[in-house]
Amino acid sequence: MMYVWKEWKEQTRGKGLWLAVLLLSAVSAAVFLQARGLPPEQGFAMLLLSLYDMAVYLLPLLCLFLASFSVMAEKESRSVLILLTKNETTASFLLKKSIAIHTVTIGIILALYMLFSFICKLSFSFSAGQFLSFLMGLGVLMLIFNQLGILVGYYSTSKMQAIGWNLFIWFLLLFLGDMVYLYLLPYVTYENVKIFAVFYFLNPFHAVQFYLETALGVFSLEHTSRLLGKFLFLSPQLVFPAAAVLWVAAAYALACIVRKRRVIHD
């Protein structure tokens, strides 16, 4: 609880979190105004999907910077060094810090979208189930990139290095990964399509979008071709949490491993 309160004070005193809130509010307002012409019955699902498509470009990058700079601030103030020389272990510190960052950042961003839902009720047929699926998708995406940001912040020895790693991870998962999938696509056959599907849905963007499109009723798993049906052999309800657990656990474990590096860069 002490870590959560400390993180709350640090994040709310800084400008990064409020800049993220401002950017997401402006983008959400623009998407809402553009979607007002859609039919009220089907428009809400399309609005949520459009909000997610826009948030994909901003939210992961914002989470990477907020989380990594929060850990960097702990290192610059030497509070990490003080904690680790006492009874605190690296794994314990990273766990408590992770919980604090997730609680504060995810809580504030999801609260923003919950306030936005009251505006949506004025123009669309509001569906609580669809909106909950939307919040879960954003929450898992933030969870993954927060944890990657914590790894970057703990590994990096300077803010410039952290900025470079943040941009590299964002570009790798959002753009470069899809280029690799497109390159491999001609080599995908009916026999190896399941292997391709596993690696495809390891990308958190694909896993969350697959879950969200099926949950919102935009994409149906019925009446698909044999090849597409085999490609989609994994259930969205399985892909979604599996990707989250895998990425969060891997980032946390890797951060614990890099403890051999100097925590403070003199």
Q: What is the pLDDT of residues 59-76, one digit of tens each?
A: 999 999 999 999 888 877
**Three-state DSSP state, 112:** helix
Print burial letters for 79-108: b (CB count within 10 Å at least 16), e (below 16): ebeebeeeeeebeebbebbbebbbebbbeb
Q: Report the amino acid identity of residue 175.
A: F
Predicted local distance difference test score (pLDDT) of residue 84: 63
Distances (CA, A) of 144 to 14, 101, 227, 242, 259: 22, 12, 30, 12, 20
Q: What is the pLDDT of residues 128-144, one digit of tens each?
A: 888 999 999 999 999 99
Averaged pLDDT of the chain:
86
Predicted local distance difference test score (pLDDT) of residue 61: 94
Print burial letters for 206-220: b (CB count within 10 Å at least 16), e (below 16): bbbbbbbbbbbeeee
How many Å apart are CA 248 and CA 255, to the nearest integer? Answer: 11
CB 155 within 8 A of CB 258: yes
Below-50 pLDDT ranges, the chain: 262-266
